[in-house]
Structure 1
Amino acid sequence: MKWLACFTAIVIILVSFCMTDYYIGRFIARKRGKPPQSPLRKSDITLLVRGTDLFIQYFDDLYNARSSIHVLFYIVRNDSFGKLFFDILMDRAKSGVKVRLLLDWFGSRTVSKQLIQKARRNGVEVHYCNTPRLPFLFFTLQRRNHRKITVIDGKIGYVGGYNIGEEYIDLDSLLSPWRDYHLRIEGTGTADLQSVFLRDWKRATGVTDFDEQALFPSLAEGPITHRFFPTEGVGAEEEIIRHIEKATNSIFIGTPYFIPPKKVMASLEKALENNVKVTILVPRMSDHPIVKEASFPYLRKILAKGGTVYQYKEGFFHAKVLLFDDAVCDIGTANFDYRSLLLNKEINCFIYDHEFIAHVKKIIAEDIMQSTQLSHRDLQAVNIRFRIIEWIGGLIKGLL
């Protein structure tokens, strides 16, 4: 039995080391981080909720680029759609467009070295960000750049929940149709997306010399008032709580992963106690092990307090959308969970235009029509296997 005792001791030491590494690394990162300061902007904003519609427009904009293409994705798949994406970037680079592609080390780890090398030979600057490093190896392994940003000629911007892969254009037999929300921006807000991209690019490459005049052209104002909110584990939780506490009538949360930090969950429960209507929309199917089960304790609390929970059943719901009193709409890259609010690099867009919000509400109503309303009894009637996974999810909720 000595081998078992040795094995157990090794496991305990490794787990203790990883947890110490993680919490000290996160503490230092949060101490160094600064809450974002984002100005109000005015832009023309289009909401795209189907992958085919998005990428037809997106690729058309890429093909029409004249000077620069800056792209940051969390996930680029090594599939036919990912290769098409690389082909387009290489084509534009060969035509003289400056193309910079930034990929998250973890999310895009399956992209082949051969494809990266081919892109570089054809003029595309490709770099990975958020690579694990010492002294906090486990912490940096967990921290991801979850932003999805594109800026074309400094004039057209994209941000939202879509990545690059076959599942995002409904070619995945298990997760199709994929439901997501993505924004196309033309106007003064595009400069903020450019700034965020360049900040991430500088950190990943060390390059700081840019033609600022070319990358930040003069931009006309659009009709929609909005504010970008880029975060790095600092400020997101406080911002969400601030909006929850200000709500007097209704709060809507659409998210693929509902695992809110304690303070956020407490503010939602308080809102329900103050007769604010809280509605949650999550997917019925899951693209990630454990997260669905891990969300159930939180959803039970919402239902117990009088909230409403829906499960989207017509495919996979991956959108990140919040509505507060029909006055503020938040669409971006952050999920409603520990990882997005307390760890990852994210960017969201707060929109304050009543006409745009009315349009978002119509889209949400369509999604709810494709959903099933859950009761507290539904979430209680789960088997022992589900309860065990739920328990495990509770233990590692900060890493899901």
Structure 2
Amino acid sequence: MAEGTPAGGMLWNMNQPLTVEQIRQAPKVLLHDHLDGGLRPETVVELAQASGYTGLPTYDPVELGNWFREASDSGSLERYLETFAHTTAVMQTREALVRVAAECAEDLAADGVVYVESRYAPEQHLEGGLSLEEVVEAVQEGLELGEKRAAEQGNPIRTGQLVTAMRHAARSSEIAELAVRYRDAGVSGFDIAGAEAGNPPTRHLDAFEYLRRENFHFTIHAGEAFGLPSIWEALQWCGCDRLGHGVRIVDDIDHDGNGAQVLGRLAQYVRDKRVPLEMCPSSNVQTGAAPSIAEHPIGMLRDLRFRVTVNTDNRLQSGTSLSGEFAKLSEAFGYGWDDLQWFTVNAMKSAFLSFDERLALINGTIKPGYARLKWATER
């Protein structure tokens, strides 16, 4: 039975699922991670105390972390989204935004993430008197500070912002213009988020048409709590580059009499066009989009060679990390280093970054990193 010794000196068995500690050593790429869903529990407590926010269910960091996870396990996307009232409440000043963004970059870098696109909705951070522009600049200041600290700790990371509009609000065109104004100052792309039911992406068609005219990248939360119509509208009416979640694409995959998968026209289009799917396994289970990790459609979609990527969505609410998500998939589906590299290269290919920069990270960081881990395992 073969064993390996990675750089950290830790032995592991090739025939066992990869652990969080092992996976943390691998270079990873994160495309779907909400800034207001990734705060450290102790930071939420300290920011609440500093700002006078009295709405937290508890001011004990451990208990608060547990509360966020338990409150997010309802099986309802709407209930899940309610937990963000607490995190956004403590992110209403420049100082708070800088701190949260810096800690985000540091935490992800410590988990082995080498590239992240951190998304958030500027319109949700105006209650303290900040302008939209000041919100974007504060987040960028924090991300750059986090990059610097991570590099000093030997964990280099590249960050970008995804500026998000709320699909139930009416500011998407304004937020889209904001994103384009800051395209050369840290903003990599645009997104819409929030409850899908009753808020179709076509409601924001003016924003998406503007973004296409400006040659700007955007993703859309679609196919999470709502089905194929949401995915179809996001692609064929709005023209998005990626699908946020997209898990319900499996509703367009059937089986023939011999048990083989048969793709419907939309699923075939998504696969043929290599549309990236920003899948978030733990979050999908929490919101009821998947019954369990073992039954998550990501296994079938990976086998069918869709452009699948693995993401965290909200690390606080799910009590997870990107290494944690990969470890769960390794246990459920038997994934090894080759599979993790495949998911990671998919994500890097799909990043809202220039082609030469994506290629440099794939060939200079990702593939060499996994080659070292596989070599150590196979020794």
Q: TM-score, normalised by structure 1?
A: 0.32
Indicate the structure with greater strand content.
Answer: 1
Q: TM-score, normalised by structure 2?
A: 0.34
Indicate the structure with greater helix content.
Answer: 2
Structure having the higher Rg: 1
**Greater relative contact order (Cα < 8 A, sep 6+):** 2
